[in-house]
């Protein structure tokens, strides 16, 4: 158990969004419609873009909830319960997430210490890629407690996985209990050994319902999950609706102290030999951020795959200057 509560200042609930591109603006729109925040501050070094988004969102208020929305700067992170970081470059067609590291680490060295200085009590929620490496960088550069630095991690991959499994099994995605863990990226790991529908392991469900569950079919479902971003980016240039919904889900569980289990990235210590890096595991989140990282009992192949994922992240972290 890590989190100390409460973390945020009394008064109107403020959420700061840094980076007003596809992901940041879609998240801000979803947040406004949810009514969860009383204040939403939009920050981008392209000030005109943030101003335009603020105007457009303000014109949404009469259809939504009374909310103060403005284009601000890093000073306005003060008092925010959650600061969502979506600033930076994304993957271009054919690029991996890890390819974005140098450009985005440079932005992190500039903005993260300032955010922490203005807002020492809030939670940082990182979405920019490579999200696990930048969550680790945010932890080091902000010097905030580990419970208050969270990456969206594999929340999106888990959602894609559950959707694709739901199509195969003909069951509501919300009734599919399955997680993707590790890196949000090419080395991510499906936890087949614990995946279930109503507590029934997938091979049992298949046998009893006459559905095919052979290795090749399951492998295809995982590959479509893992490679979804490449397929979407090739077609529309970026992905943003599902990640924005995932960021909303994380923000909601924090602001409403819901103790929800979500696969998010945070500092992992002493887990199957993995130590001192950020990656995703199912995690209980409350208003203090990370309450508890759940230590799954993985089979041997899953343990090996997770260590491989951790090694890849460690190599990328070693290439980043965090001073």
For binding to ligand NAD (CB under 6 A), which residues are involved?
18-24, 43-46, 49, 86-91, 100, 107, 110-111, 127-129, 131, 152, 156, 184, 238-240, 243
150 - beta bridge partners?
125
Q: Which is nearer to ligand NAD, 18 or 274 (CB)?
A: 18
What are φ and ψ of residue 28, in 5° steps?
A: -60, -40
- Looking at beta carbons, which residue is closest to ligand NAD? 21
Q: Which is nearer to ligand NAD, 104 or 169 (CB)?
A: 104
CB of 213 to ligand NAD, least distance (A): 28
Q: Which residues are catalytic?
A: 184
Q: Which is nearer to ligand NAD, 87 or 197 (CB)?
A: 87
Asked if 186 and 316 count as a contact pair (C-beta separation under 8 A), the reply is no
Q: Which is nearer to ligand NAD, 223 or 299 (CB)?
A: 223
- CA-based nearest residue to 39, from 69, 78, 77, 60: 69
CB of 84 to ligand NAD, least distance (A): 10
Cis, peptide link before residue 130, omega less than 30° from 0: yes
CB of 97 to ligand NAD, least distance (A): 6
Task: For residue 77, count other CB atoms closer than 10 A to its CB.
Answer: 25
CB of 76 to ligand NAD, least distance (A): 12
281 - beta bridge partners?
264
Asked if 240 and 23 count as a contact pair (C-beta separation under 8 A), the reply is yes
Helix, strand, coil abundance in the chain, percent, nearest 5: 45, 20, 35
């Amino acid at each position: 158990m890590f989190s100390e509560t409460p973390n945020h200042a009394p008064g109107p609930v403020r959420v700061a969004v840094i980076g007003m591109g596809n992901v940041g603006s879609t998240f801000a729109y979803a947040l406004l419609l949810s009514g969860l925040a009383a204040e939403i501050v939009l920050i981008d070094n392209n000030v005109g873009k943030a101003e335009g988004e603020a105007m457009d969102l303000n014109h949404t208020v009469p259809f939504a909830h009374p909310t103060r929305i403005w284009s601000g700067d890093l000073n306005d992170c003060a008092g925010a319960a959650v600061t969502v970081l979506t600033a930076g470059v994304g993957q271009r067609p054919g690029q991996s997430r890890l390819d974005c590291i140098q450009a985005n680490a440079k932005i992190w060295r500039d903005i993260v210490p300032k955010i922490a200085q203005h807002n020492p009590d809030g939670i940082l929620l990182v979405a920019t890629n490579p999200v696990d490496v930048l969550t680790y960088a945010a932890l080091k550069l902000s010097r905030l407690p580990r419970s208050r630095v969270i990456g969206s991690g594999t929340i999106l991959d888990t959602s894609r996985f559950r959707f694709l499994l739901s199509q195969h099994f003909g069951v509501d995605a919300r009734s599919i209990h399955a997680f993707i863990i590790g890196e949000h990226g090419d080395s991510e790991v499906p936890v087949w050994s614990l995946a279930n529908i109503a507590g029934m392991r997938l091979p049992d469900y298949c046998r009893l319902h006459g559905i095919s569950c052979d290795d090749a079919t399951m492998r295809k479902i995982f590959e479509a999950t893992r490679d979804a971003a490449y397929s979407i980016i090739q077609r529309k240039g970026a992905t943003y609706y599902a990640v924005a919904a995932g960021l909303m889900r994380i923000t909601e569980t924090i602001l409403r102290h819901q103790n929800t289990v979500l696969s998010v990235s945070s500092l992992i210590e002493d887990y199957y030999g993995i130590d001192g890096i950020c990656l995703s595991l199912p995690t209980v989140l409350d208003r203090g951020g990370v309450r508890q990282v759940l230590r799954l009992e993985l089979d041997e192949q899953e343990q090996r795959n997770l260590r491989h994922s951790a090694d890849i992240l460690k190599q990328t972290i070693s290439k980043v200057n965090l001073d």
